[in-house]
Structures are given as structure tokens and as C-alpha cells.
Amino acid sequence: MQKFPYFQGRPHLPLILEYGDRQERFLPLLDSGADFSIFHRSALAILGLDWEQGAPRNYDNADGTSFIAREFILSVEIGGIRFPARISFADDPSLRVRPLLGRTDIFDKFRIIFCEQEQYVELKPYTREHHDCGAGEQ
């Protein structure tokens, strides 16, 4: 189990995105209300990716607006655990300062505890033998 302190009062989670021989550290907001992980388009160049090679996806915001992003499958490392995940990139300026780490391909890898009172996130990687979401706990 690993604990990650909140950053500026919010549950940000340090991670590494990797593509080929390039990797970069990010500190996205861990967002249990977001279905998908979305980073700013500028991160593509750092990773050596081409916008046009990503699969186009249409996303809906909570306010009813929508936007286009490009999705790639990248290697993600969180707390020493590495796995492939679908990560999208978009032009939205807010993503420069607050990329989002959503549920798809992320939340199924860990048991995640948000501790608001003490301002940390705790991650426990699931193993093949223990993927029970609390079965048998007292």
C-alpha cells in the first residue's frame, strides 16, 4: 500500500506516461467522477506522439458541452506498477494545469482510498489472487 499526499488540497497522483523510449512525469487530478483520463495536447510532443495518429473521441462535459480528443494506448506507471492504459489528449487550456486521471484502465488496477480528513490517497495494487473489492474484510 502506498500513500500519496494531496497537492493543493486535492487528490493528485504522480505518474509516468511512457511511449517508446520517451517518458514524462505528470501530476494529474485523480477524478473518480471522470470516466476517462485526459491530458493537454502539448504533452504529445514530449512523448513523441502525433495528434493525427490518435483515435478521435468525442467527450461530453458535465455542463453539456463536448470536445474532441485523441486517444492513445500508453504505458502508465503509478507507485511502481506499470500497465497499459487508454489516455486521451485535448486542446482544452484547463488541462495544462489540471490533467485528469479517470476510471477507465486505472481504477481497476488498485484499491483506492480517498482520505479527505487527512488529505491523502492510498493505493493498494490488485493481484490476480486478491481482486475482491473488500470481500471478507471486517
pLDDT of residue 132: 57
Average pLDDT over residues 9-30: 96
Average pLDDT over residues 45-54: 95
Q: Spell out the domains of the chain, with CATH numbers in brackets.
A: 2-125 (2.40.70.10)
Is the model's pLDDT at 127 over the cut of 90? no
97 exposure class (CB count in 10 Å sphere: 0-12, 13-18, 19+) = exposed
pLDDT of residue 133: 58
How far apart, in Å, do the first and last CA atoms of the chain sit? 18
CA distances from 124 to 10, 17, 47, 67, 134 (A): 19, 20, 28, 33, 12
CA distances from 94 to 41, 90, 108 (A): 11, 10, 26
User: What sign has the CA pseudo-torsion 87, 93, 96, 100?
Assistant: negative
pLDDT of residue 138: 40
Tell me the H-state helices in 62-113.
94-97
Q: How confident is the model at residue 8 (pLDDT cuts 50, 70, 90)?
A: very high
Extract the C-alpha cell encoding 127: 493481484
Extract the C-alpha cell encoding 52: 493525427
- pLDDT per residue as tens digits for the range 58-76: 998 878 888 999 999 999 9
